[in-house]
């Protein structure tokens, strides 16, 4: 009987070790400095930490992120907005240098926006902007340099599409762009800027999205999870988690709003949301183990 117990213990240990993902303990993730990706990185980081992994998030511009994925310096990127990043998809994903692992969000919108009073004045379309060129001071406010959306706007200006050839793109961080928009709104000045959903700006600002830019930004889109080539095979347990992970607009908006309104960290807001909605863990952690091969669901729930 004692011999049988020893054999069973050895088999159990071997089984756990077979699933163990210890060589993949550190998970290198990227954040372009966007509120939505900070939220989804926080959710993923909470899960990984509960599973015994060590998530490491670096703030990297989108072009650097794609290059890092190609070179193996970045493992995971949760912010492949499509079709806004079509150019990067064509350059890195289509040829197999980077892997598009799973869709993590549907129904996104990402294009130029204006405050409601500008909309009410008659600016509903990209083609309407130049009619009010002087009021806009011929400026479009974008996000960080190198962002795919900025590249699209620069192409519009270069081609003089919508008669915007004399306009200037102001590149800055997401926070700086929105601070400029807030200043304009207080003075009821005309301003156009990159808007997207999910994001707290949709609650904090009375804003409308312009039509006409679908060739560059699509109508509605999706966000995908990317990994470096071969990552899901080398680290199958994390790969399974990433494949399972999907988010909703309400989920992301709720987390981002708590960060913005209550001045808490993304990690705190993500944990609060998961604690209030623990049923999501069943799908996210289905077939997933801890880093040492134990039950991930129990381990993560213990962190709540």
> Residues 97, 136: one domain?
no
> Residues 41, 180: one domain?
no
pLDDT score of 15: 43
- pTM, two decimal places: 0.80
The whole-angstrom separation of Cα 108 and Cα 123 is: 22
The DSSP call for residue 211 is B
The whole-angstrom separation of Cα 231 and Cα 102 is: 13
For residue 263, give every residue at least 6 positions away whose Cβ sits within 8 Å of its Cβ, in sequence order, or none: none
Residue 15, in any domain of the structure: no
> Residues 177, 79: one domain?
no
Q: Are 229 and 143 in contact (CB under 8 A)?
A: no
> Residues 122, 208: one domain?
yes
> Residues 233, 267: one domain?
yes
Q: Report CA Rg, the chain.
A: 22
The whole-angstrom separation of Cα 265 and Cα 36 is: 13
Q: Are 121 and 132 in contact (CB under 8 A)?
A: yes
End-to-end CA distance of the chain: give it in Å, rounded. 40
Structure tokens at 198: 């999910």
For residue 27, give every residue at least 6 positions away whose Cβ sits within 8 Å of its Cβ, in sequence order, or none: 48, 53, 54, 55, 56, 75, 76, 235, 238
For residue 14, give every residue at least 6 positions away whose Cβ sits within 8 Å of its Cβ, in sequence order, or none: none
Total tally of structural domains belonging to the chain: 2
Residue 18, in any domain of the structure: no
> Residues 62, 95: one domain?
yes
Rounded alpha-carbon distances, angstroms, from residue 177 to 142, 246, 285: 7, 28, 37
Listed residue (78, 66, 70, 67) closest to 29, CA to CA: 78
Exposure pattern of 224-250 as b/e (b: 16+ CB <10 Å)?
bbbbbeebbeebbbbbbbbbbbbbebe
pLDDT score of 20: 55
> Residues 57, 86: one domain?
yes
The whole-angstrom separation of Cα 79 and Cα 40 is: 9
60 C-beta neighbours (distance < 10 Å), count? 19
Which residue(s) pair with 142 in the sheet? none
Query: What backbone phi and psi angles, to 5 degrees, belong to 209?
Result: -90, 135
CATH code, domain carrying 265: 3.40.190.10
Which residue(s) pair with 57 in the sheet? 29
Of 160, 194, 217, the position where a domain reaches its end is: 217
> Residues 116, 50: one domain?
no
Taking only the tens of pLDDT, the chain with its 304 residues reads 454 444 444 444 444 444 456 679 999 999 999 999 999 999 999 999 999 999 999 999 999 999 999 999 999 999 999 988 999 999 999 999 999 999 999 999 999 999 999 999 999 999 999 999 999 999 999 999 888 999 999 999 999 999 999 999 999 999 999 999 999 999 999 999 999 999 989 888 999 999 999 999 988 899 999 999 999 999 999 999 999 999 999 999 999 999 988 999 999 999 999 999 999 999 999 999 999 999 999 999 999 9
Residue 263, in any domain of the structure: yes
Q: Are 87 and 151 in contact (CB under 8 A)?
A: yes
Structure tokens at 177: 């762009």
Residue 32, in any domain of the structure: yes
The whole-angstrom separation of Cα 207 and Cα 229 is: 39
The whole-angstrom separation of Cα 125 and Cα 127 is: 5
Domain of residue 87: give its range: 25-106+221-288+296-302
């Amino acid at each position: 009987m004692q011999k049988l117990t020893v054999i069973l213990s050895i088999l159990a240990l071997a089984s756990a070790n077979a699933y163990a993902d210890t060589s993949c303990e550190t998970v290198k993730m990227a954040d372009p400095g966007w509120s939505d990706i900070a939220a989804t990185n926080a959710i993923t980081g909470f899960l990984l930490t509960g599973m015994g992994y060590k998530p490491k998030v670096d703030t990297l511009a989108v072009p650097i992120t794609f290059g890092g994925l190609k070179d193996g310096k970045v493992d995971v990127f949760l912010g492949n907005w499509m079709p806004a990043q079509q150019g990067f998809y064509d350059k890195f994903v289509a040829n197999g240098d980077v892997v598009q692992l799973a869709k993590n969000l549907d129904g996104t919108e990402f294009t130029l926006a204006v405050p409601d009073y500008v909309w009410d004045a008659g600016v509903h379309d990209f083609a309407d902007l130049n009619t009010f060129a002087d009021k806009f001071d011929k400026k479009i406010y974008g996000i960080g340099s190198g962002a795919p959306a900025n590249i699209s706007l620069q192409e519009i200006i270069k081609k003089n599409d919508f008669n915007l050839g004399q306009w200037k793109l102001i590149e800055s961080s997401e926070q700086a762009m929105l601070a400029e928009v807030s200043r304009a709104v207080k003075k009821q000045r005309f301003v156009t800027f990159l808007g997207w959903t999910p994001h707290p700006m949709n609650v904090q600002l009375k804003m409308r999205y312009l039509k006409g830019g679908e060739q560059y930004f699509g109508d509605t889109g999706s966000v995908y999870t990317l990994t470096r080539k071969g990552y899901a095979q080398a680290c199958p347990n994390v790969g399974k988690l990433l494949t399972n992970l999907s988010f909703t607009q309400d989920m992301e908006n709720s987390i981002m709003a708590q960060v913005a309104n209550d001045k808490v960290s993304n990690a705190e807001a993500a944990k609060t949301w998961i604690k209030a909605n623990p049923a999501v863990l069943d799908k996210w952690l289905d077939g997933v183990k801890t880093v040492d091969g134990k039950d991930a669901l129990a381990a993560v729930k213990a962190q709540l």
